[in-house]
Structure 1
Amino acid sequence: MSEEVVIRVPQPDEAGQVMVLLADLQRETTTFTTDLATHSQREVADQLAQINESPTHLLLVAEIDQRLVAILSVTKDPDHESWGELGVAVKRDFWHLGLGTAMIQTGQDWVDQMSQLEGLVLTVQDQNDRASSLYEYLGFQSVKNSTHAVTNGHGDRVRAHEMKWRPAEES
């Protein structure tokens, strides 16, 4: 790929572009879901402004040739008090280019250096072997006894499990 990839925080005035990206991602895969339809562009802009000021929330987008092609979110996980829940999605045309890896590593750096979070937790569908392998490569470990069912983007119940990552302790 010859185009420059920029990973950055989206600004509130880009709410419409973020909404288009989220809608595209939800159409392209069953492993990504969003409640996009329940929010107005103004509400999304307000959420972006709040996220950008938060030490426990992060939103990143990947931009290529002035097009948003991937998104990463970290939100405080209500089930794991001091952990952030990670979500990442890349448009299908940009799979296998390292974007997901780069975005997750950027999110890990943020957790390690700037956030108030202890680490990251995510849920991955058992059938999504590529994602599981990527998360393991990036230091995530499966949580024992965390297998459960989730609803995928088509409304089907599928098996999934949790994985966690914590920054390395400095010695």
Structure 2
Amino acid sequence: MADEVQIKLAAADDAANILAFLRKAATESDAVLIPHLADVTVEQERRNIEMINSFDDCVIMLAMLGGQPIGIVTVMVLEDQPGVGELGVVVAKPYWRNGIGQLLVDEAEYWFQNYSSLQQLVLTVFAENVPAIRLYQKLGFRQTGRHQAGQREVLEMEYQKRAD
């Protein structure tokens, strides 16, 4: 399936599809933790995408199949830690365990290494999400911490920029 999927940089015209995708994904997984997702308008999302695309420390990329998003990867600079970006990945449930997450993280890593001003990527993942943890470890992320988030255990992971 991964050979039919295309990865593209999100554009302002993708705003409605991105919101619909994220709202549906939030019903399929409790790992979609976007505050006020239900309240975001298409116009607000268009402006967000345009703003994100104007910086070299943030990116949104989509996995597209048949013209519809089936996955998204974001890297957003942490306000209190310049040089550090937080990686987020969401794949539509029908496409879990088909290599879509790896495609997205691979593209984000390539962007990080070649185009971003960031020095480090970080992420958090629920400790019981073993497939995701294995993927991140395979791609070079290392665990840096573990803590409770409500009733669930969360792992913190990081990925450093390679020296040239």
Sort the TM-score into its range (normalised by shorter chain).
Answer: over 0.9
Distance 1:3 1:116, change over 3 A: closer
Provide the TM-score with structure 2 as the length reference: 0.93
What's the CA shift for 1:96? 1.5
Provide the TM-score with structure 1 as the length reference: 0.89
Residues 3 and 64, structure 1, Cα contact 8 Å, conserved in 2: no
- Give the Cα separation in 1 of the matches to 2:73 and 2:149: 20
Q: Residue 165 in 1 paired to residue 152 in 2? A: no
- Unaligned ranges ≥5, structure 1: 152-156
Identify the range of structure 1 (115-124 vs 5-14) with the bigger mean alpha-carbon deviation. Answer: 5-14
Residues 126 and 160, structure 1, Cα contact 8 Å, conserved in 2: yes
Structural RMSD (CA)? 1.5
Correspondences of 1:27-106 after superposition (within 5 Å) = 27-35=27-35, 36-106=37-107
SS of corresponding position for 2:118: coil
- Give the Cα separation in 2 of the matches to 1:131 and 1:113: 24
- Give the Cα separation in 2 of the matches to 1:113 and 1:2: 23
- Give the Cα separation in 2 of the matches to 1:97 and 1:43: 32
Correspondences of 1:132-143 after superposition (within 5 Å) = 132-143=133-144
- Give the Cα separation in 1 of the matches to 2:51 and 2:156: 27
- Give the Cα separation in 1 of the matches to 2:101 and 2:14: 21
Distance 1:43 1:101, change over 3 A: same
Identify the range of structure 1 (32-41 vs 102-111) with the bigger mean alpha-carbon deviation. Answer: 32-41
- Give the Cα separation in 2 of the matches to 1:120 and 1:79: 14
Residues 57 and 75, structure 1, Cα contact 8 Å, conserved in 2: yes
Distance 1:96 1:2, change over 3 A: closer
Residues 72 and 88, structure 1, Cα contact 8 Å, conserved in 2: yes
Q: Residue 19 in 1 paired to residue 13 in 2? A: no
What's the CA shift for 1:3? 6.9
What's the CA shift for 1:150? 2.6
Structure with the higher strand share, 1 or 2: 2
Write the deviation string for residues 26-77 of structure 1: whole angstroms up to 9, x where unpaired.
1101122222123211110000101111111000110011111000000012
Residues 56 and 75, structure 1, Cα contact 8 Å, conserved in 2: yes
SS of corresponding position for 1:168: coil
Distance 1:110 1:3, change over 3 A: closer
Distance 1:14 1:126, change over 3 A: same
Distance 1:122 1:2, change over 3 A: closer
Kindly, what percent of the aligned residue pairs are identical?
A: 26
- Unaligned ranges ≥5, structure 2: none
Q: Across the two proteins, how many residue pairs are aligned to each other?
A: 163
